[in-house]
Amino acid sequence: MMTAAQSHFAPEPVQEVVHRRNWGAWLLSFLCLGLILAVLRAGIEARILDPELFVQYLFSEQILIGARNALVLGSLAMVLACGVGLVVALMRVSGNPIMASIAAIYVYFFRGTPMLIQLLFWFNAVPIMFGEISIPLPFTDIMLLQAPTTQMVTPFVAALIGLSLAEAGYMSEIIRTGIQAVDQGQQAAARALGMTRAQVMRRVVIPQAARIILPAGGNQYIMMLKSTSLASAIGYLELLRIATDIYSSNFLVVELLTVAAVWYLVMTAFATGIQTMLEKTFPLR
């Protein structure tokens, strides 16, 4: 009571507030900066990269084609992977033991083997297994499509199939956790309104699951864009393959690897941009 009465007449001087500084973190950050500068300096002093040639190759036609090929292949493979992944995830949660087992085994195989092996398999084994691909018009002798498999399974097709099936293994697990994160109560409410199971999935579960898995999906898309470099193993002319082809004849190894790295970074920024945009357009509710 006394202080309240006093302060009414003679306000105390405002005291400065001093918060603790985390000196350790500052010290560490300066150490990090020093380390980064040392590496950069070593690179510059050793002249590992000719800036003019670097810029020249950065926008060369072949490199741009390679970058475009990588973006197209990676994006198409991601879209297919989401589709296949959704089917596998729905099989996994279907409640039917055979479907669930098939889905589990799919995930095990496609996540459990290196993508490179899968790509080589699709490119080499499929044409041996099926000599000719023919799709007849149902109930007639007319062939909609008939061609030797080697002609149809081009490096692009093999890479697309290989990357998307492998990625579907990862995506199906991501999608499954997303589906299971949508609460049961909403599903009960939707069924109580008279929606069929399929409608509940389409209208209630999948829209919310899609939003939940968006960050993880964006991450996978970035990985996929870089995984397209594996397609060089089966002769598809993507970014890394083109860069290595060029430097194996002119020995500008660092320039061309850096050029490729820059374009992968641009693609990553593109993927991140899409993800951020979607996250803002559909905020978590």
Partner 1 sequence: MSQTIISIDNVRKSYGHFEVLKGISLDVPRGQVVALLGPSGSGKSTLLRCINHLETINAGKIHVNGELIGYEERGHRLHQLPDKQIARQRRAIGMVFQSFNLFRHMTVLDNVMSGPLQVLRQNRGEARTKALELLGLVGLSDKADSYPSQLSGGQQQRVAIARTLAMEPKVLLLDEPTSALDPELSKEVISTIRGLADLGYTMMIATHEMSIASSFCDRAVFMADGHVVEDRPAAEFFAAPREARTRQFLDHYADSAH
CB of 177 to partner 1, least distance (A): 17
CB of 265 to partner 1, least distance (A): 34
Nearer to partner 1, 207 or 235 (CB): 207
Nearer to partner 1, 77 or 209 (CB): 209
For residue 135, the cross-strand partners are: 145
Nearer to partner 1, 129 or 192 (CB): 192
Give CA separation, 10 vs 3, 15, 17, in Å. 10, 15, 21
Q: Which of 202, 147, 207, 199 is nearest to 178 (CA)?
A: 207
CB of 201 to partner 1, least distance (A): 12
* Angular region, 95: left φ>0, alpha ψ -120 to 50, beta rest: left
Sign of the alpha-carbon dihedral angle for 100, 221, 69, 252: negative
Secondary structure of residue 146 in the 3-state scheme? strand
CB of 86 to partner 1, least distance (A): 18
Nearer to partner 1, 188 or 266 (CB): 188
What is the distance, to the nearest Å, from the Cα of residue 285 to the centroid of all Cα atoms in its chain? 24
d(CA 107, CA 250): 43
Nearer to partner 1, 161 or 190 (CB): 190
- Whether the CB-CB separation of 214 and 278 falls below 8 Å is answered with yes
Residues that bind partner 1 (CB under 8 A): 183, 185-186, 188-197, 199, 203-204, 207-208, 211, 282, 285
Secondary structure of residue 132 in the 3-state scheme? strand
CB of 98 to partner 1, least distance (A): 20
Cα dihedral angle (236, 241, 245, 250), rounded to 10 degrees? 160
Nearer to partner 1, 115 or 204 (CB): 204
Nearer to partner 1, 41 or 203 (CB): 203
CB of 96 to partner 1, least distance (A): 14
For residue 134, the cross-strand partners are: 146
CB of 283 to partner 1, least distance (A): 9
Task: Say which amino acid occupies 32.
Answer: C
